């Protein structure tokens, strides 16, 4: 359904990490710390002893939430992992994995029976322990669990990936070939370099605690900038329609109104943004009034799984008193910057690419030309995703990223992809 609106305003081998040097800049160690924390959370995990785990059921406390996640990670239970992590993040991962896997099957990269949640590696860990003070309570819903020792081994085995025989042959491989790599990270080394424990944020949803990637990243950002978690959250204040939500968010972004941008993010999917929001307002809001103003926004709306995609058809902004207009006309973009109108078309882009290649003595194959045209045409429909909660509409960051990836994949077909891979192997 479409509406238009105009409103004025790749033999088994194991790779051990080389000895790690002290970071050149103070922030490097902190970055490594958060990376390890994230790995421990969703891609790495840590094997804690039963003495540490105690008798608590998984999720009954912040520490048991982490140990419960570790248990399912070590069992290679992908579904179990999604049952342990923050529900909103689990949903986002499921949606992304399912939709992209559907496109990869269409492109004959993945087998038709492929499970998008099948792991292609394994996790192991040894001698892991908590800090002397294992938890740091932020509030009744957020608690940070602190790790100070342990070795986390992350193994990626592409031979377990459910690729089609056709795709493996295109890559020069053979079905069943083992290509495995293992990376090991010593948490104690990270702690020595940073002077701080590896922090994993957990969030209470209902009566259970869940490790959270989003909250761990937010906690890291606050640590880096020397800020504390805000005492109050910014409430979600959605718009009456999906189109209005996008329009208001664009206006707020242009005006540097960080608070309004956060209000227009989904309360469930982006709860972390609302909880950390007041710190973002202080750090990101502009001190001066923007000289850019949204004058007009025409959009096209399309239903997508879980919400709507809003694609711009015409945008008019005023920058320092001068107007800039960009509008779509078929496969062309009409640009008016006040000094005459320019029409930029997809066919012109493709012709330019062919001419540039010809100057280097290269003739672009038909597959490459066809693919560029198809992807380009799809990208002209690019847009942002919105969701509805409790009768109000919000812009969905994870849905938008999902749509961006799908937009690219939809511009490919199995024949063109095979021809392009063969071209790259020459």
> What digits encode the pLDDT tens for the residues 404-413?
998 888 888 8
- What is the Cβ-side half-sphere exposure of residue 365, based on CA atoms within 13 angstroms? 14
CA geometry: angle at 399 spanning 394 and 403, to 5°? 130
Q: How many folded domains does the chain comprise?
A: 1
Candidates 66, 159, 171; CA nearest to 121 is 159
- b/e burial code for range 57-81 (CB count within 10 A of at least 16 → b): ebbebbbbbbbbbbbbbeeeebeeb
pLDDT of residue 357: 83
pLDDT of residue 20: 43
Where does the pLDDT of residue 161 fall: very low under 50, low under 70, confident under 90, or very high at 90 and above?
Answer: confident
> What digits encode the pLDDT tens for the residues 269-296?
999 999 999 998 876 655 556 788 999 9
Alpha helices in 332-365 (DSSP H): 346-359
> What digits encode the pLDDT tens for the residues 164-177?
888 888 877 555 55
**Residue range 62-75: average pLDDT?**
82
Residue 117: inside a domain: yes
Residue 337: inside a domain: no
Percentage of residues in the chain having pLDDT higher than 90: 42
pLDDT of residue 103: 92
- Phi, psi values for residue 297, rounded to 5°: -140, 115
pLDDT of residue 125: 64
Decide if pLDDT at 205 tops 50: yes
pLDDT of residue 176: 57
**Residue range 140-163: average pLDDT?**
84
Q: For the ranges 126-135, 278-287, 314-323, 357-366, which has the lowest average pLDDT?
A: 278-287
User: In the predicted model, what is the mean pLDDT of the chain?
Assistant: 81
Helical (H) or strand (E) element with 378: helix 366-379
Q: What residues make up the domain containing 129?
A: 26-225
Residue 135: inside a domain: yes
pLDDT of residue 379: 81
Where does the pLDDT of residue 423 fall: very low under 50, low under 70, confident under 90, or very high at 90 and above?
Answer: low
pLDDT of residue 370: 81
Residue 328: inside a domain: no
- CA 383 vs CA 41, 62, 380, 402, 422: distances in Å: 31, 38, 9, 11, 32
> What digits encode the pLDDT tens for the residues 93-104?
888 888 999 999
Candidates 284, 293, 240, 243; CA nearest to 262 is 284
Q: For the ranges 40-54, 223-237, 370-384, which has the lowest average pLDDT?
A: 40-54
CB 133 within 8 A of CB 148: no
Decide if pLDDT at 11 tops 60: no
Decide if pLDDT at 214 tops 70: yes
Decide if pLDDT at 264 tops 90: yes
Residue 95: inside a domain: yes
pLDDT of residue 212: 95
Secondary structure of residue 295 in the 3-state scheme: strand
- What is the Cβ-side half-sphere exposure of residue 328, based on CA atoms within 13 angstroms? 19
Residue 372: inside a domain: no
Residue 112: inside a domain: yes
Decide if pLDDT at 43 tops 70: no
> What digits encode the pLDDT tens for the residues 50-66?
223 333 466 899 989 98
Alpha helices in 107-228 (DSSP H): 165-170, 187-194, 213-225
pLDDT of residue 409: 87
CA geometry: angle at 154 spanning 153 and 157, to 5°? 135
Where does the pLDDT of residue 120 fall: very low under 50, low under 70, confident under 90, or very high at 90 and above?
Answer: low
Residue 204: inside a domain: yes
Tokens of 374: 């198809």
């Amino acid at each position: 359904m479409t509406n238009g609106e105009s409103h004025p305003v790749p033999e088994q081998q194991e790779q051990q990490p080389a000895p790690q040097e002290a970071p050149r800049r103070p922030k490097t160690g902190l970055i490594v710390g958060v990376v390890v924390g994230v790995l421990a959370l969703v891609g790495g995990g840590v094997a804690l002893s039963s003495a540490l785990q105690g008798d608590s059921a998984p999720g009954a406390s912040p520490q048991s939430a982490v140990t419960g996640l570790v248990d399912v990670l070590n069992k290679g239970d992908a579904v179990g992992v999604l049952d342990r992590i923050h529900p909103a993040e689990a949903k986002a991962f499921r949606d992304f994995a399912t939709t992209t896997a559907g496109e990869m099957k269409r492109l004959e990269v993945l087998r038709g029976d492929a499970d998008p949640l099948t792991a292609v590696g394994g996790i192991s860990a040894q001698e892991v322990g908590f800090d002397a003070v294992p938890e740091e309570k932020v509030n009744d819903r957020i608690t940070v669990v602190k790790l100070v020792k342990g070795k986390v081994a992350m193994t990626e085995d592409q031979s377990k990936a459910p690729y089609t025989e056709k795709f493996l042959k295109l890559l020069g491989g053979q079905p069943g070939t083992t290509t495995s790599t293992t990376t090991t990270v010593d948490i104690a080394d990270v702690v020595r370099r940073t002077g701080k424990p590896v922090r994993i944020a957990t969030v209470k949803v209902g009566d259970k605690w869940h490790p959270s990637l989003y909250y761990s990243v937010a906690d890291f950002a606050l640590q880096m900038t020397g800020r504390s978690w805000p005492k109050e959250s910014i409430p979600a204040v959605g718009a009456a329609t999906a189109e209005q939500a996008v329009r208001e968010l664009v206006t707020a972004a242009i005006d540097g109104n960080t608070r309004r941008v956060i209000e227009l993010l989904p309360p469930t999917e982006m709860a972390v943004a609302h909880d950390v929001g007041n710190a973002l307002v202080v750090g990101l809001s502009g001190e001066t009034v923007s000289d850019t103003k949204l004058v007009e926004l025409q959009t096209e709306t399309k239903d997508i799984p879980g919400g709507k995609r809003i694609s711009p058809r015409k945008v008019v902004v005023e920058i320092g008193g001068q107007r800039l207009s960009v509008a779509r006309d078929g496969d062309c973009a009409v640009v008016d910057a006040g000094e005459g109108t320019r029409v930029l078309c997809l066919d012109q882009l493709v012709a330019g690419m062919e001419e540039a290649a010809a100057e280097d003595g290269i003739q672009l194959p038909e597959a490459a030309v066809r693919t560029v045209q198809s992807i380009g045409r799809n990208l002209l429909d690019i847009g942002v995703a919105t969701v509805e909660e409790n009768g109000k509409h919000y812009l969905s960051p994870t849905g938008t990223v999902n749509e961006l990836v799908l937009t690219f994949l939809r511009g490919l077909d199995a024949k063109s992809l095979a021809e392009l891979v063969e071209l790259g192997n020459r």
